[in-house]
A and B are shown apart, each in its own frame.
Chain A
Amino acid sequence: MIELTTSAIDPDERRRTLFDPGAGAYSSFEGWIRNENEGKRVLRLEYEAYVPVAISEGEKILAEAGDRFPHLHAHCVHRTGLLEIGDCAVWVGVSSPHRDEAFRACRFVIDQIKVRLPIWKKEHYADGHSGWVNCERCARSA
């Protein structure tokens, strides 16, 4: 399940949705808003998404993860709107029978989310300027 929300993400609440008697492992990733990017002091971030395609593409990514890692449960939640330093921008959680698949599936999902979903972020800097992050680093490391 993939979800986009303007509300704060509660990782504990999300984690409970992955409980499964057959799962011996749980792994998660949280992306947080940090106060610096490429030498500039960041005050806050604004996320924009095109929801219909973000949802359909996100569901594809989760289905691909399920194909690669059998018996996997995987969820992802991504924030939109204005976020402050320390806020959780994205949460990925997976449960699976064993830890190796859990680690790898979690990494697969967040890496794909970053390069495939139509989501953009605008940084607001301490010097009063703002700018869209173009994520070339993400594309290079994919």
Chain B
Amino acid sequence: MKTITVRYFAMFREHAGLDEETLTIDANDAADVFRATRSRHGSSEPSGHCKVAINDVMASWESPINDGDTVLLFPPVAGG
């Protein structure tokens, strides 16, 4: 089990009803974290449209998760 901080933005923050939370979960990669938060907060957004960063660095869904990481979940972006 790993203890991580998850931060939510825009639509994800509104779905979760919070900016961030600390979770202790059995996660190997970022995709595991996304799945865990999706079932926790009932979001149906597929990961293919979303992005993830770990400790303020853009990452992929296959990026490994370490104890103490901060995982940033970005819903589909819409700049410009």
Query: Interface of chain B, helix or strand or loop or mixed?
Result: mixed
Say if the beta carbon of B80 comes within 8 Å of chain A. Answer: yes
Inter-chain contact B75/A132, CB cutoff 8 Å:
yes
Q: Interface on B for A, CB 8 Å cutoff?
A: 9-11, 14, 49, 51, 53, 56-58, 72, 74-80
Inter-chain contact A116/B77, CB cutoff 8 Å:
yes
Of A47, A50, A56, A136, chain B has the most CB atoms within 10 Å of the CB of A50
Contacts of A132 in B (CB 8 A): 10-11, 14, 75, 78
Complex Cα spacing A138 to B79, Å: 9
Q: How large is the interface on A (under 10, 10 to 19, 20 to 34, 35 or more residues)?
A: 20 to 34
* B78 touches which of A53, A56, A110, A119 (Cβ 8 Å): A119
**Chain B residue nearest to A52 in the complex (CB):** B56
For the A-B complex with A50-B53, A113-B79, A114-B79 known, give 4 more contacts whose Cβ atoms are closer than 8 Å.
A56-B57, A116-B77, A132-B10, A138-B77
Complex Cα spacing A125 to B9, Å: 21
